[in-house]
A = this chain, B = another copy of it.
């Protein structure tokens, strides 16, 4: 452990910077910005100011605003390579696992909302353009399969649960939190437990 150092002592190469690392650090601060302002309304200057860098720096790490946004989507998509797995820790019974899943989403409601908003903006941005990159679609599948692994339910049921959670988060966004997170969670819970009883998973 001793004498290990990542710092380069070469005199003539003063700045040793991991390009990708900096890029990641920048991206991680962009989720809220894009989510709150919207792709079209967010400007490069706003981003630069929020990240405490110059616009020049932004363009050093990203080709364009669109590229930055694309990379952001990729970043947040690969970011949570579904830590749902962690939510499984010490959850033995089906009921416990359902609780863990719900808690997982409830705890990170804000983050999840931002994510969905970004996905929608991204989908819109691509528009009738290039069918190209999967992006959010892939993330959705990851969530879906995480749920399947965790609860051992069918794909379509998992999608239904995911849709319900998505819808719940969005509904709360629109109605300013008037929809009760607790009550709705209970309904989802009841549904899942009911499914298990019927053995229809």
Partner of A38, one of B11, B40, B160, B164: B40
The answer to whether A170 touches B140 (Cβ under 8 A) is: no
**Residue A163 at the chain B interface, CB threshold 8 Å:** yes
**Residue A174 at the chain B interface, CB threshold 8 Å:** yes
The distance in angstroms between the C-alpha atoms of A173 and B120, with both chains bound, is 8
The answer to whether A179 touches B167 (Cβ under 8 A) is: no
Q: Given the known inter-chain contacts A137-B174, A137-B176, A184-B160, please indicate yes or no for A36 contacting B127, CB distance below 8 A.
A: yes
What mask results when residues 94 to 117 of chain A are scored 1 for a CB within 8 Å of chain B, else 0? 000000000000000000000011
A residues 56-103 touching B (CB-CB < 8 Å) = 56
**Residue A121 at the chain B interface, CB threshold 8 Å:** yes
The 23 sampled A-B contact pairs (Cβ below 8 Å) are: A11-B14, A36-B124, A37-B124, A38-B39, A38-B121, A39-B40, A39-B41, A40-B40, A119-B174, A120-B170, A136-B174, A137-B175, A137-B176, A156-B184, A159-B179, A160-B184, A162-B171, A163-B164, A163-B167, A163-B168, A164-B167, A166-B166, A166-B171
Residues of A within 8 A of B (CB): 11-12, 14-15, 36-42, 56, 116-117, 119-121, 123-125, 127, 131, 136-137, 140-141, 156-157, 159-160, 162-168, 170-171, 173-176, 178-180, 183-184, 187-188, 191, 194
5 nearest A-B pairs in the assembled complex, by CB-CB distance: A40-B40, A167-B167, A40-B41, A163-B167, A166-B167
